[in-house]
């Protein structure tokens, strides 16, 4: 996934916690990709090399890989819980911490639509995902879907921000 759709969760969550900076929510939505970058740089996970990416063939990789530490379902739940706990320790607000956990886990949910190689646990466990990226029409759908959910989330964010500004003023 391009990553742009993952930002939607951060924009959508922000109005529920106006005291939290937007950039923190945006980072939470990108947690899995940040971890993938760190883990692949450190050699813990393999790097994925895209050979082809278009709306005819979809996305094709040079080799099949899975990334259980950054994008596996089990570890995505663990990362979400860790982010929620860190948010609770920092902000001392249970609802904010739950929101952070949900934003972080939304990454896996969106990747489930896009990819077909998401391990349930670790290497050797079943791989899940709809794999819409594997087909041109599916990749086109996911690109449009990413843009639509991002646009809707940004709209909701600015509408809530305008409402708060009007109430304060």
> Tokens 């993952």 label which residue?
6
Strand partners of residue 53: 59
CA–CA dist 125, 121 (Å, integer): 6
- Give the whole-number percent of the chain exceeding pLDDT 70: 98
Residue 56 burial (10 A CB sphere; 0-12, 13-18, 19+): exposed
**pLDDT tens column, 26-58:** 999 999 999 999 999 999 999 888 888 899 988
pLDDT band at 113 (very low <50, low <70, confident <90, very high): very high
Contacts of residue 123, defined as CB under 8 A and 6 or more positions apart, other chains included, come to 66, 68
> Tokens 């090399």 label which residue?
49
∠ CA(95), CA(15), CA(8), 5° rounding?
A: 100
Q: Stretch 111-125: mean pLDDT, rounded?
A: 93
**pLDDT tens column, 54-98:** 999 889 888 888 899 999 999 999 999 999 999 999 999 999 999
pLDDT beyond 60 at 1: no
More confident residue, 66 or 12: 12
* H or E segment and range at residue 119: strand 118-119
Q: Stretch 96-123: mean pLDDT, rounded?
A: 95
Mean pLDDT of the chain: 93
Task: Judge contact between 35 and 3, C-beta under 8 A.
Answer: no
pTM of the model: 0.91
Q: Stretch 122-131: mean pLDDT, rounded?
A: 92
Alpha helices in 30-135 (DSSP H): 31-41, 68-71, 73-91, 94-114
Residue 46 DSSP code: P
Strand partners of residue 52: 60
CA dist 82 to 22, 32, 46, 50, 97, Å?
Answer: 19, 12, 23, 30, 10
């Amino acid at each position: 996934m391009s990553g742009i759709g993952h930002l939607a969760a951060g924009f959508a969550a922000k109005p529920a916690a106006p005291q939290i900076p937007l950039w923190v929510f945006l980072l939470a939505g990108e947690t899995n990709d940040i971890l993938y970058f760190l883990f692949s740089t450190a050699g813990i996970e393999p790097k994925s090399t895209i050979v082809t990416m278009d709306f005819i063939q979809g996305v094709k990789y040079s080799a099949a890989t899975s990334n259980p530490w950054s994008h596996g379902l089990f570890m995505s739940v663990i990362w979400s819980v860790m982010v929620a706990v860190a948010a609770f320790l920092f902000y001392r607000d249970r609802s904010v911490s739950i929101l952070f956990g949900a934003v972080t886990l939304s990454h896996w949910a969106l990747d489930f639509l896009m990819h077909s190689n998401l391990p349930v646990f670790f290497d050797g466990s079943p791989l899940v995902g709809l794999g819409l990226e594997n087909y041109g029409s599916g990749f086109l759908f996911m690109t449009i879907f990413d843009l639509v959910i991002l646009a809707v989330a940004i709209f909701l964010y600015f509408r809530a921000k305008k409402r708060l500004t009007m109430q304060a003023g």
